[in-house]
Amino acid sequence: MKILDLVIIGGGPAAITLAKNIKQEREITIFRPEDHSMIYCAMPYAIEGIMPLEKTLKTDALVTEVGAKLIREKIVDVNYKNKILISETGNKYTYKQLIIATGAEPIIIPIKGVDLQGVMSFKTEKDLKTVMETVSNELIEAVVIGAGAIGIELAQALNSVNVKTHLIDIFPTILPNMMDEDMIEVPMKSLENSGIQLHMNEKVVELCGEKTVETIKFDSGKQIDFDSAPLVIFAVGMKPSIDFLKSSGISIGRTGIHINSKMETNIKDVFAVGDCCEFISGITGEVVLGKLATNAVPMARMLAKNLLGDDRSYAGFYNGAATKVVTHFVGSTGLKELAAKDLGYDTIVGEADMTTAFPIMPFAKKVKLKLIADKKTNKILGGQIISGEPVTDKIDKITMAIQFDITVDQLVQLSYASQPYQSFFPANNLIVQASEQIITKRNK
Ligand SMILES: Cc1cc2nc3c(=O)[nH]c(=O)nc-3n(C[C@H](O)[C@H](O)[C@H](O)COP(=O)(O)OP(=O)(O)OC[C@H]3O[C@@H](n4cnc5c(N)ncnc54)[C@H](O)[C@@H]3O)c2cc1C
């Protein structure tokens, strides 16, 4: 049996990043069962009709053109002692070094009725095709369970193509892991006004029906009844795709494979990156959620550089993230105020309400920032923004403050740029104003 040099199990953003960074410096073999890698982030926008489905599919050339060999097989077993992989079709492969990048798959909560027709999750090419075909076959009603970023993007996409859409969440507000309730009130109202029926604070306990879902029951005693077969899509979170490794001897936590800051596992010559791993917060040092491409890609890039001779470390996860709710661009990073309090931090919050351009410019839109600091250390713990314009740059700036331990006293001195089209008046700046408010409260 030929010994493969560097083997990657998985073909998502993590695997692609590894291949693109290592190129032909190592002989790479990628195992990926599905026909196409996907641009998952764009899936809701294909339903909305912003682009055809094909645009969400990545070409294999992304990895083959940089020299990696792609084998369309699912790996079902690993023997670390003898460095052997076994595929679903029974093929055996040996490796020198192994990288596990098997990602995560949607969770379907184990309740009665999840096997009824039209009940599904949303991650694969097949899922996207099913939704788009069902919509074009005159789907009347749909339900999205889970109001996180994927859930709200999906609900808006379905609503935009005239499907009567219900959005359910166990928490009282949408984006419960990203945004504090006070920040998300206005976008949530807009979502409701756009026609989506919100069922917040509701726990789904049963899907009832003969063949298709006829009723969804909540533990509050309330229910939704359907006249025609709906699509019921779970978007309640992701679990690592590592079942096949559970008894293999690799160390696994509640949310994924244990890795250190070098992406090493407990097994020699075996690394793991991306959604299949357990993440450690760069703020608290505790396990944190974060199944995001913006975590998977930097992890993979760092590992690639180390495999080529660098000695880099990954400092932890901060989970800067963004989405769009109707006309509101929404972003957050670090800890929410509520989460920080639950973790025992004595928090001080600063806010700033401004406009995205000079307020005298006719197209200026509202922008609001909430900054959360730790009273004891004066360090930034988190930030949230709602704006009429994209927010990722602003979120990244706050992540940088958190990541590099910048205090509010330093942040208040931020040297900023201003121009009528692109910012508030030179007289003020979102981050500076929110920091100033925190300092004023602290010094009282
Ligand atoms: C609808 C949607 C929207 C999203 N939007 C965003 C966004 O806006 N921003 C953002 O940062 N993130 C977003 N994400 C999350 C992002 O897509 C993931 O974090 C990212 O894909 C993780 O990359 P990965 O390479 O670790 O895993 P994945 O992309 O999940 O890839 C895992 C790969 O491993 C393969 N695999 C699994 N098991 C095996 C096996 N046994 N043998 C061989 N191959 C195997 C899979 O088939 C797949 O090819 C979104 C996800 C979804 C579903």
Can you give the CATH number for the domain in which 414 is found? Answer: 3.30.390.30
> Domain ends where: 236, 263, 280?
236
| 111, part of any domain | no
Q: What is the pLDDT of residue 215?
A: 98
| Residue pair 369/363 in contact by the 8 Å Cβ criterion | no
Tens-place pLDDT, residues 334-347 = 999 999 999 999 99
Nearest to 300 by CA among 5, 7, 4, 20: 20
Stretch 356-362: mean pLDDT: 98
Give me the CATH number covering residue 222.
3.50.50.60
Q: Which residues pair with 329 in a beta bridge?
A: 324, 387
Q: What is the pLDDT of residue 144?
A: 98
| 384, part of any domain | yes
Q: What is the pLDDT of residue 159?
A: 98
Helix (H) or strand (E) holding 193: helix 181-193
| 274, part of any domain | yes
Q: Give me the half-sphere count of Cα atoms (radius 13 Å) on the Cβ side of residue 317.
A: 27
232 and 245 inside one domain? no
Non-local (6+) Cβ contacts of 381 within 8 A are 283, 334, 335, 340, 345, 347, 372, 373, 374, 402
Instruction: Identify the domain containing residue 345 by its residue range.
Output: 329-443
Q: Supply the mean pLDDT for the chain.
A: 98
Stretch 189-202: mean pLDDT: 98
User: Does the pLDDT of residue 278 top 90, yes or no?
Assistant: yes
Residue nearest to ligand 1 atom 6, measured at CA: 41
218 and 274 inside one domain? no
Non-local (6+) Cβ contacts of 247 within 8 A are none
Q: What is the pLDDT of residue 370?
A: 98
| 151, part of any domain | yes
| 322, part of any domain | no
57 Cα–ligand 1 center, Å: 13
Q: What is the pLDDT of residue 324?
A: 98
User: Does the pLDDT of residue 241 top 90, yes or no?
Assistant: yes
Q: In 310-330, which positions are buried (b, 16+ CB within 10 angstroms) versus exposed (e)?
A: eeeebebbbbbbbbbbbebbb
Tens-place pLDDT, residues 75-107 = 999 999 999 999 999 999 999 999 999 999 999
CB of 74 shorter than 6 A to ligand 1: yes
Q: pLDDT-derived band of residue 1, with 50, 70 and 90 as boundaries?
A: confident
Distance between CA 345 and CA 325 in Å, rounded?
Answer: 30
CB of 385 shorter than 6 A to ligand 1: no
Laid out side by side, the sheet with 380-387 consists of 321-325, 328-334, 380-387, 366-374, 347-355
| 189, part of any domain | yes
Structural domain total, the chain: 3
190 and 281 inside one domain? no
User: Does the pLDDT of residue 443 top 90, yes or no?
Assistant: yes
Q: What is the pLDDT of residue 130?
A: 98
User: To the nearest whole percent, how much of the chain has pLDDT over 70?
Assistant: 100
Q: What is the pLDDT of residue 337?
A: 98
CB of 77 shorter than 6 A to ligand 1: no
CB of 146 shorter than 6 A to ligand 1: no
Number of H helices, E strands in the chain: 11, 26
Q: Which residues pair with 427 in a beta bridge?
A: none
CB of 83 shorter than 6 A to ligand 1: no
Q: What is the pLDDT of residue 225?
A: 98
Stretch 111-122: mean pLDDT: 98
Stretch 285-308: mean pLDDT: 97
